[in-house]
Amino acid sequence: GTMGTVYKARHLTLNEERAIKIIHPVAEGYSTMKDLIFLGNQGLSKIDHPNVARIYDVGEVKLFSRMRLYIVMELVKGERLDRVQIFKNLGKPDQVEAARDIMTQIAAGLEAAHKTQFVDSRGMPVDGIIHGNIKTRKILFTPEGVPKLIDFLFTDLSRTQKIKLEQPESVKTMLKAERPTDFMAPEIVKGERGISKQADIYGLGSVYFHILSGKPRGDFHFQSVE
C-alpha cells in the first residue's frame, strides 16, 4: 500500500488474527512520522464502531538495522469496495438500495470518528478525528458484508514535505495512475484549503457518486449552469 506493507498475523496468546502494517522505510522525517502515527492512533484506538476498522497497537521495531514503525489493526477479510461487482445493474431497485445501505453505514462510521474526543499524550484536547483521504479502496468488507473504513490519517502523510518514504515501484506506479480529483475536493488538490471534516464529507459523496455511476468523478466533465 501507499504507507506500508500489510501482513496477516496471529496473536499467540489470544489466538486471534490481526493485520500488521509495517510502514515503508522512512528516508527523511522519521521522528515526524513517528509522532504523527503515535498521536493519530492514540485517537483512533478510542473509536469503537462497527464500520471503522479497530486499531490495537502501534510501535517501532528494528528490522535489518533500520527502525521501522508498525500498526496492529483489525483484520478485515473481505473485498475492497473498488473491487466489488455489485453495481452492474443499477437500474434495479435492490442495487440502488445496496449502494445506499453501504454509504449509510460508512457515513455512520465517519460521524463516530468526527465526534471522537480525547486528550493526547501531550495533554492537548482533540475534537474529532479526520480521515483525510476517503476513496473506494479505503473501504473494506467483512465476509458478512459489513463495510469498514480504513487508513485514517496515514495515507495523506505522503503529501507532506517533511516526510519521504521509500516506496516500492509498484506503489509509485499505482499513485501515478490515481487522480486526486476523483475523490478529493478541488480546493484541497490546489492547496487552497487544508484537510478538514468538510473535506471528508466531500470524499464520502465522491465515493457514493462512483458506486452509483460506475465511474469516478474524474471521468466526467461538470459545467455550471447559470
> Given this model, what pLDDT does residue 215 score?
77
Contact 126, 45 (CB under 8 A): no
- Nearest by Cα to 60 from 68, 52, 72, 48: 68
Contact 199, 184 (CB under 8 A): yes
Q: CA 148 to CA 88: how far, in whole Å?
A: 22
Cell numbers 471521468: residue: 219
Which are the contacts of 22, defined by CB distance < 8 A and separation ≥ 6? 4, 5, 6, 7, 63, 68, 69, 70
> Given this model, what pLDDT does residue 89 score?
54
Contact 131, 110 (CB under 8 A): yes
> Given this model, what pLDDT does residue 220 score?
64
Cell numbers 487544508: residue: 194
Q: CA 201 to CA 207: how far, in whole Å?
A: 10
pLDDT tens digits in sequence order for the chain, 226 residues long = 888 999 999 999 999 999 999 999 999 999 989 988 888 888 888 888 999 999 999 999 999 899 999 999 999 999 999 887 655 555 566 777 888 899 999 999 999 999 998 887 778 888 888 898 899 989 999 999 999 999 887 555 655 667 899 999 998 888 888 888 889 888 888 878 878 899 999 999 999 988 888 777 766 655 544 4
